[in-house]
Amino acid sequence: MTQYETVIGIEVHVELKTNTKIFCNCTTEFGGEPNHHTCPVCLGLPGTLPVLNKKVVEYAVRAGLALNCQVAEFSKFDRKNYYYPDLPKNYQVSQFDLPIARQGYVEVEVEGQIKRIGIHHMHMEEDAGKLVHQGNIMTTPYSLVDYNRGGMPLIEIVSEPDMRSPEEARAYVEKLRAIIQYTGVSDCRMEEGSLRCDVNISVRPVGQQELGTKAEIKNLNSFRALQRAAAYEVERQISVLETGGRVIQETRTWDEAKGITVSMRSKEEAHDYRYFPDPDLVPVVLDNQWIEFIKDSLPELPDQRRSRYVEQYGLPEYDATILTLTKEMSDYFEEIIGHYDKPKVISNWMMGEMSRLLNVSGTDITACKIKPLQLAELVKLIDQGTISGKIAKTVFEEMFESGKDPAVIVKEKGLVQISDEGAIASVVDEMIAANPKSVEDFKAGKDKAIGFLVGQVMKATKGKANPDVVNKLLREKLQ
Amino acid sequence: MISKQDVDHVALLARLELTEEEKELYTQQLNKILNAAKALQEVDTDNIPPTAHVLPIQNVFREDRVGKSIDPEKALAIAPEREESFFKVPKIV
Ligand SMILES: [Zn+2]
């Protein structure tokens, strides 16, 4: 049977977090009434003149530098011509042959291997408006257009076809997202559309130089969707080839509910964009001083932060990688460390209970009710011996639910750990009397038997006994 | 040489509906324009970067400060159809 190789390239659109649109003074604020954030420029009315937002250039350069790109000293805007109602001018202002940045890369880690994924180029462009349909686009009787999003500033990052598996594709976008988030130029929220990706996939027999025919997958609004869609598409293309068929170059959309990609019936002439330089916009010429200034203002990026976690906090590589994957998670972690300097213990809480509960509730750290200071206090309560580690998990769950302070929960529920030897001793005596078999085993040299007895005491005290004290008392009494 | 098929294609891209006579006429006219442009191609442009803009101006920027948007009623008033504060358009697949 023929072995196939997967080839993936990805285009990522990122919405920049400026106050105003790319070519006019309209606000970029999310969620206004339809068409209330518009003006003659972003509505494409005749006789208007677009003027470039300086912040957009600064942000684009910042992102380009963070992605190890060469920033262009000379760059210009072009018109990309096509007819679609989300585009009031019938062209989109974009950059064609002289983009703001080129030839970058990011490093991703998949199955313990570090791999460099090339970035072909990055350019600036304006976003299109939003179409609203009744039901879906096939069944709707007409469409409604909201141009609030039209003219919002975007950067598009085009990778080289360097990825060889759906896992690599996901790792690439995750890394890209983290880097751009750290630079502060975008929130990169996939669910809200401030980060969108189109994935180009083809397969070819192993050893073949020439690329296979590719399909482009759209409508991927989570990392999971991206990985699943890519995996599905690879299988689909291989089965087309295996049954003697031919892969068609087309755009496909991901159907999350059915778990399949579906052809979007593309039009032949759709790709004839007739780019030409936009005469309304003048070239952007960046001097080295400005580029250097932006370079110097770059904040710590994920890879640097990961290394620092290993060196400064003594965390394992694995912890450092997971904690720095998103800026929110990493900032949250650092805030706790600021309150209580116990990196490894706090990392365990974040990667264990916190991740588990966030997963179960389907939210992320930004929506978490537990404040960094509260988690620091919880760990302090354990270290001071006020509560046991086991009880702490119960307290944590309650904090996650209600957002209450750990000390309040401990007090309300009477969860304070019992460390008083006198109070524990009587329970220990009871358990020794009730479990003669384990006592015998222990005395016969089976050290493990004591674990069972400790467990019985803990159970009898509803987890409140200090396990160290229990252990100590048992050993003394069974001498 | 521009063929009638080229004119058909360009007309479709520009969403222009042309009669047969217009297509013939434009094919001739466009060829004349291209012939005139050929004269320019005689010029030796080796080692000359393509022109990005006809005026010697660069770096015209705006500060990132929010200004007033227009009254959406004014914008919607010029639309053939509307629904609430949306522009209403035929569906395009
Ligand atoms: Zn505007």
CB burial string A460-470: b at 16+ within 10 A, e below: bbebbbbbebb
Indicate the range of A206-215, A417-426, B81-90 predicted with least confidence: A417-426
pLDDT band for position A88 (50/70/90)? very high
Q: Which of A20, A38, A85 sits opposite B64 (nearest CB)?
A: A20
Which of 38-57 (B) contact A at CB < 8 A? 51-55, 57
Question: Does the pLDDT at position A269 exceed 70?
Answer: no
Nearest Cα of chain A lies from the Cα of B17 at a distance, in angstroms, of 15
Q: What is the pTM of this model?
A: 0.81
> A142 to chain B: which residues are within 8 Å by CB?
88-91
pLDDT attached to residue A236: 94
Question: Does the pLDDT at position A271 exceed 70?
Answer: no
Candidates B53, B82, B93: best to mutate against A (most CBs of A within 10 A) is B53
Mean pLDDT, residues A159-182 taken together: 94
User: Residue B69 C-alpha to ligand 1 middle, in angstroms?
Assistant: 6
Question: Does the pLDDT at position A267 exceed 80?
Answer: no
Structural contact between residues A157 and A67, judged by C-beta atoms closer than 8 angstroms:
yes
Question: Does the pLDDT at position A124 exceed 90?
Answer: yes
Among A19-28, A385-394, A448-457, the range with the most confident prediction by mean pLDDT is: A19-28
Q: Which of B58, B60, B88 sits opposite A142 (nearest CB)?
A: B88
Q: State whether B91 and A142 contact (CB < 8 Å).
A: yes
CATH number of A421-478: 1.10.10.410
Strand partners, A125: A154
User: Residue B3 C-alpha to ligand 1 middle, in angstroms?
Assistant: 41
- pLDDT tens figures, A378-387: 898 888 878 8
Q: State whether B63 and A54 contact (CB < 8 Å).
A: yes
Question: What is each CA distance from A336 to A98, A223, A373, in whole angstroms?
Answer: 45, 27, 6
Contact of A265 with chain B, judged by CB distance below 8 Å, is answered with: yes
Question: Does the pLDDT at position A266 exceed 80?
Answer: no
Question: Does the pLDDT at position A34 exceed 80?
Answer: yes
Q: Which of B15, B64, B70 sits opposite A38 (nearest CB)?
A: B70
Contact of B80 with chain A, judged by CB distance below 8 Å, is answered with: no
> B54 to chain A: which residues are within 8 Å by CB?
279
User: Residue B68 C-alpha to ligand 1 middle, in angstroms?
Assistant: 9
Structural contact between residues A41 and A48, judged by C-beta atoms closer than 8 angstroms:
yes
Nearest Cα of chain A lies from the Cα of B60 at a distance, in angstroms, of 7
Strand partners, A335: none
- pLDDT tens figures, A316-355: 988 898 899 888 889 999 999 999 999 999 999 999 889 8
Q: State whether A76 and B53 contact (CB < 8 Å).
A: yes
User: Residue B81 C-alpha to ligand 1 middle, in angstroms?
Assistant: 21
d(CA A176, CA B62): 28
- Single-letter code of the amino acid located at A31: G
- pLDDT tens figures, A147-157: 999 999 999 99
- pLDDT tens figures, A239-263: 999 898 888 888 899 988 888 998 8
Q: State whether A138 and B88 contact (CB < 8 Å).
A: no
Q: State whether B75 and A38 contact (CB < 8 Å).
A: yes
pLDDT attached to residue A385: 78
Which of 277-316 (A) contact B at CB < 8 A? 277, 279, 281-285
Sorted by sequence, the CB contacts under 8 Å of residue A81 that are 6+ apart come out as A90, A91, A273, A274, A275, B13
User: Residue A36 C-alpha to ligand 1 middle, in angstroms?
Assistant: 10
User: Residue A49 C-alpha to ligand 1 middle, in angstroms?
Assistant: 11
pLDDT attached to residue A270: 52
d(CA B42, CA B47): 15
pLDDT attached to residue B93: 67
Sorted by sequence, the CB contacts under 8 Å of residue A286 that are 6+ apart come out as A57, A61, A71, A72, A73, A74, A75
User: Residue A86 C-alpha to ligand 1 middle, in angstroms?
Assistant: 14
Token duo for residue B68 = 């007033």
Q: How many CB pairs under 8 A join A and B?
A: 128
pLDDT band for position A265 (50/70/90)? low
Nearest Cα of chain A lies from the Cα of B2 at a distance, in angstroms, of 16
Q: Is A142 helix (H, G, I), strand (E, B) or coil?
A: coil
Q: Which of A39, A76, A272 sits opposite B13 (nearest CB)?
A: A272
- pLDDT tens figures, A455-472: 888 888 877 788 888 888
d(CA A280, CA A153): 17
- pLDDT tens figures, B46-89: 898 888 888 889 999 999 999 988 898 998 998 999 999 999 99
ipTM of the complex: 0.88
Architecture field, domain B4-41:
Orthogonal Bundle (1.10)
| Chain B nearest-CA residue for A279 | B53
Mean pLDDT, residues A107-117 taken together: 90
pLDDT attached to residue A461: 81
Average pLDDT over chain B, rounded to an integer? 90
User: Residue A61 C-alpha to ligand 1 middle, in angstroms?
Assistant: 23
User: Residue A37 C-alpha to ligand 1 middle, in angstroms?
Assistant: 7
Nearest Cα of chain B lies from the Cα of A268 at a distance, in angstroms, of 11
Nearest Cα of chain A lies from the Cα of B49 at a distance, in angstroms, of 12
Q: Say what angle helices A166-183 and A302-313 make with each other, to 10 degrees.
A: 80
> B17 to chain A: which residues are within 8 Å by CB?
none
Mean pLDDT, residues A65-93 taken together: 94
pLDDT attached to residue A14: 97
pLDDT attached to residue A453: 87
Q: Where exactly does CATH 1.10.10.410 map onto chain A?
A: 421-478
Question: Does the pLDDT at position A362 exceed 80?
Answer: yes
d(CA A195, CA A162): 20
> What percentage of chain A carries pLDDT values higher than 90?
54
d(CA B30, CA B7): 9
Average pLDDT over chain A, rounded to an integer? 90
- CA-derived radius of gyration, chain B: 22
